[in-house]
Amino acid sequence: MAHGRDHRTPNGMTEKCGVVGVSLADRDAARPLYYSLYALQHRGQESAGIVTHDGFQQHSHVEMGLVGDVFGADDLDQLNGPAGIGHVRYPTAGGVNTCCAQPFSVSFKSGSLGLAHNGNLVNAAEIRSELEALGHAFTSNGDTEVIAHDLARNLLEEDLVRAVKRTMSRIHGSYALTIMHDDAVLGVRDPEGNRPLCIGKLDDGYVLASESAAIDTLDGELVRDVAPGELIVLEPDGSGFDSYQLIDRDDTAHCFFEHVYFSRPDSVIDDGLVYEVRRDLGRELWTESGIETDVVMPVPDSGRSFASGYAEAANDGDADVEFAEGLMKNRYVGRTFIMPTQDERERAVRLKLNPIRSTVEGKTVTIIDDSIVRGTTSTQLVDLIRDAGAEEVHVRIGAPPIVAPCYMGIDMASRDELIAADKSIDDIKEVIGADSLSYLSIDAIADVLGRAKGDLCLGCVTGEYPYDIEGEQTDRDVTRPVVGGESAPADD
C-alpha cells in the first residue's frame, strides 16, 4: 500500500461516510452504535469502526469490511463504556485503503481523542503544513488526522468548547464530525451545513447521527438537525446535551445530493423527509417535462420515489399513465462479481436489471432515475427495454445534469468521466439512444427544498462551488468562515 505526500489531490480527497455518537446513562454504548452503523451502512461499505470509553480508558475496534463482518459478539462485548462514536467508510476508487479506516484515535497530554468524520476539507494541506512546522508528524494522509492534531494542540491551552471553536475557525470545507474526548461525546457540523448531522433522544440517552434513520433503528426520537456551525456536547450521563453556536454564517451550502441520491428515503435531512422530497421532485419533473406515456417505470431502487411522484402528478392531471415496477433488480450482484468478457457485456446489465417483458411490450415507456453519471447504464437500459418490445423509451432524471466533480465528500467520478461535462442534453439523448431525455431544473431543486440557490452547494451541477477550490470557480464572495458569537449552552 503506497502512500506519499502528494496524494492529497482533489481526486483522492472524496469520501462518503456515515458517523454516529452515543452517550447513555448506564448501558454500554457498543450495541446501539452497532445497530446505528448498520442503519447507515449505505453510506459506506469499505470499513467500519467503533471507539468507546468506559471512564477509565478507550476501547477501539476498526476493520475493513461491512458492519456485520467487522463486529462479532465478542468484539462488542469488549467495547465497554456508556459513551462511544462510530464510523462507516465508503470504498474509494483505486483500492482498499486500510490507513484511513475510522474512527481515528490519538492520546495526548490532555487525554484521548477519537474522531469520526464525514466530509472533506479544502485546506487540510495548509493546516497540516502549519502543524508540521510545529513538529507534528502524521501517520496517514487523511483530513481526520489533521483535525485530530489541531484539536489536540488547541486543547493544551483551551477548554473543550474553545478548542473546538479554534479548530473550526481554522479548517475549511465540509465536515460532520462525532468526537470523543475521553468519555465526552461531541458532534460538530460545518458552518455551511454541507454534510448532515442530527440529534436523537433515546429512553436513556442521546445519539448523534448522519441520518435520522439511525435514530429510528434505536427506537429513538429525532430531536432536530445540528445547525451549521453548531457544536453539540452530550451529557456524560445521557441526561441531555449542551449547544454552542460556534460559527455563524449568512449563507449555507447544503448538499442537495444528499436528498436526491445519497440518504435513505426514511431519513429526515434538514427538516425534509427524503422520501417526500424525492416524490415532490418527481412531481416537478412531470410538470417541467412530462410526456404522454403508457407506463412509468423507476430504475430500482433509487428512482422509485421520483417515479411514483411523477406518475401521481401525471394522473392528477389529464394523463392516464400506469406506474409499473418493470425492472427486476438482482440483489445479489455485489463486489465479488467476475466481469464478463467483451462479448458478454450485455449480460452484465441483465444480471443487475432485467426488464419484465409484459410491462413494456408494445408500449411507450418512461423510465425515471435520479441521475446519469457516466451514461453507460442508461445506454444499456434503454437498449434492453427496446429489445423487450417497447415502442418508445423516454428518460426523465430527477436532478440536473452533473457537469463537474464533487469535492465535498461524494465520490461521483472525475470530470472526464461525467457524460454531461462536455455534452448537451440532446447529445446525451443520442448517446443513450432514448426517444427523449429531460433533467430536472436547478430551480425546481431549490423550490422543493425550500431554500435559496445561494444556500445550497450546487457545485456538481453548476461548476461553481461554495468553497475556494484550486482550479475551480466559486459562487461565494467570501469563502472563509466568519467566527460567530458563542451562545450560552441550552439544555434540551
Which residues are known to be catalytic?
A: 17
Q: Which of residues 24-43 bind a second copy (CB under 8 A)?
A: 31, 34-35, 38-39, 41-42
CB of 314 to a second copy, least distance (A): 14
**Phi, psi angles (nearest 5°) of residue 272:** -110, 130
Q: Known binder of ligand: residue 255?
A: yes
Q: Which of residues 270-329 bind a second copy (CB under 8 A)?
A: 273, 275-276, 301, 304-305, 308, 323-325, 328
Of 206 and 439, the one with the shorter C-beta distance to a second copy is: 206
CB of 405 to a second copy, least distance (A): 24
Q: Is 73 in the site for a second copy (CB under 8 A)?
A: yes
CB distance 381 to 271 below 8 Å: no
Q: Sign of dihedral through CA atoms 22, 24, 30, 32? A: negative
Q: Which of residues 247-276 bind a second copy (CB under 8 A)?
A: 264-266, 273, 275-276
Of 321 and 406, the one with the shorter C-beta distance to a second copy is: 321
From the list 74-82, 170-178, 288-296, 439-447, the region that binds a second copy by CB under 8 A is 74-82
CB of 337 to a second copy, least distance (A): 5
CB distance 212 to 198 below 8 Å: yes
Q: Known binder of ligand: residue 210?
A: no
Q: Known binder of ligand: residue 302?
A: yes
Q: CA nearest 104: which of 43, 157, 69, 146?
A: 146
Q: Known binder of ligand: residue 370?
A: yes
Binding map of a second copy across residues 393-432, x = CB under 8 A, - = no contact: ----------------------------------------
CB distance 127 to 171 below 8 Å: yes
CB of 101 to a second copy, least distance (A): 12
Q: Which of residues 351-380 bind a second copy (CB under 8 A)?
A: 351, 354-359
Q: For residues 214 and 37, give the distance between their C-alpha atoms in angstroms, rounded to a whole number.
A: 7
CB of 399 to a second copy, least distance (A): 19
Q: Which residue of 16, 59, 170, 283 would you call a contact of a second copy, by CB under 8 A?
A: 59
Q: Known binder of ligand: residue 263?
A: no
Q: Is 76 in the site for a second copy (CB under 8 A)?
A: yes
Q: For residues 17 and 119, give the distance between their C-alpha atoms in angstroms, rounded to a whole number.
A: 7
Of 44 and 236, the one with the shorter C-beta distance to a second copy is: 44
Provide the residue count of the chain: 492
Q: For residues 21 and 52, give the distance between their C-alpha atoms in angstroms, rounded to a whole number.
A: 10
CB of 3 to a second copy, least distance (A): 6
Q: Is 341 in the site for a second copy (CB under 8 A)?
A: yes
Please work out the total of residues on this chain that contact a second copy, with binding judged by CB under 8 A.
95
| DSSP reduced 3-state for 413 | coil
**Rg over CA atoms, the chain:** 23
Binding map of a second copy across residues 444-483, x = CB under 8 A, - = no contact: ----------------------------------------
CB of 110 to a second copy, least distance (A): 8
Q: Which residue of 14, 112, 120, 194 would you call a contact of a second copy, by CB under 8 A?
A: 112
Q: Which residue of 16, 47, 71, 365 would you call a contact of a second copy, by CB under 8 A?
A: 71
CA within 13 Å, CB half, 218: 34
Q: Is 250 exposed, middle or buried (0-12, 13-18, 19+ CB in 10 A)?
A: exposed
Left, alpha or beta for 50 (phi > 0: left; psi -120 to 50: alpha)?
beta
From the list 13-21, 73-81, 368-376, 443-451, the region that binds a second copy by CB under 8 A is 73-81
Q: Is 242 exposed, middle or buried (0-12, 13-18, 19+ CB in 10 A)?
A: middle
Of 91 and 265, the one with the shorter C-beta distance to a second copy is: 265
Q: What is the three-state SS of 261-302?
A: HHCCCCCEECCEEHHHHHHHHHHHHHHHHCCCCCEEEECCCC
Residue 278 makes CB contacts below 8 A (sequence gap 6+) with 259, 260, 265, 305, 306, 309, 370, 398
Residue spans of beta strands (DSSP E) within 229-271: 230-234, 241-245, 254-255, 268-269
Q: Is 217 in the site for a second copy (CB under 8 A)?
A: yes
Known binding site for Mg(2+): residues? 302, 369-370
